[in-house]
Structure 1
Amino acid sequence: MLGLQSLKESSPVCPPLQSVVGGLLKLVETYEIMTQNKLDCQKLYERIDAIQDSLVVAWGDADPSFCRLSEAQLTAMMSFDKSIQCIISDVDSLVARFKHPLRRFILASQNKAYVSDCLAKLSQAEDDFRRTIELDMSRLVTCMHKSIVTVSEQSFERHLVLCSELHTQRILLSTSLVGLFA
């Protein structure tokens, strides 16, 4: 490849040679794009599998009675799943095109853009999912914090009332005992 590029740059004196070398260079570049597209599709499938596996690990074994998903989390998961299924469908249709080597070669640049678009869609779907989950978790933590503060304040107030009543009972008991020994 590097040799062809060097030859193309050094062949302006002979336009026919420059044209042939340019054509060969284009064929080699297209072939490299074509083989890279197949690898990129495989990496895309692997990334989707890794995302789905991590979701199963995080949420798959959770006891629904102990760890309920919020409405926002369920909606985010359903939306994310829908996005992933659309991306898988797009990649499957692209891979189906790969069965015809000549077509794959001719459409290599277009397929590269298609794979890049699928990767961008997956990244966007993942970002949207993470953002929704993070915001919902932040909201849940804030609500829990408020509940804990409220319960803590109520407990402190009860403690003060109990201490006051205990103090009153001690005074009454002391007064009664003083009356017995006086």
Structure 2
Amino acid sequence: MHRSIYITLIIALFHHTICAQTRIGERTLHFKDEKRNRPLTTEIWYPTIDTLKQSDKAFSPFTRVQTVRDGKLPTGKLPLIMISHGTGGSRLSLEWLADALVQMGFIVAAVDHWGNTYDHKIPLEFLKPWERPQDISFVISCLLNQPDLKAVINPDKIGMAGFSFGGYTAMALAGGKFDFLSLLNYYKTIGRNEINVPEFPGINK
């Protein structure tokens, strides 16, 4: 076997062994930003030493890692990754990514962006991108204000990931600016199909 292939295989097997030993705890939290009147249901995943209970083994149509509902929180402080779903998605849309990040030693939290989820569609909320980064910032503050979570989250190591509209959310939190006039010009020229909202055809007109 070629040396580099052999080393790669060893690393892959070692990584798989570590991942296989990592149990994942999961909790659902309910926050509300009273100033904006926005309920923000949040899912968190984290390493846990608790074992799966029979009640944890719920049916899912998707391939997923079984998680320990309300499992014991880890000891020591871990970095936190926030996740923002795409338009019309949900906090569980990127659970596969959350599971992988937990197995690498992160705590992960994902937010339902109110009015822009698959089960709660409000047309106007599909057109308000500025609400999303505020959702994430608010939930981070909530997590760090909960004594049990504050004890396990490293406030100096908080990252962000997102898909599609969630990608915009991540860029906005990093300092990206939304240029409405450029977007409007793009929509009126070559970008009409890209900017259409599938759930509400024609809402951008």
Report the TM-score range of the alignment, normalised by the length of the smaller protein: under 0.3
Point out the structure with the larger strand share: 2
Give the TM-score of the pair, scaled to structure 1: 0.24
Higher relative contact order, chain-length normalized (CA < 8 Å, sep 6+): 1
Give the TM-score of the pair, scaled to structure 2: 0.22
Structure with the greater alpha carbon radius of gyration: 1
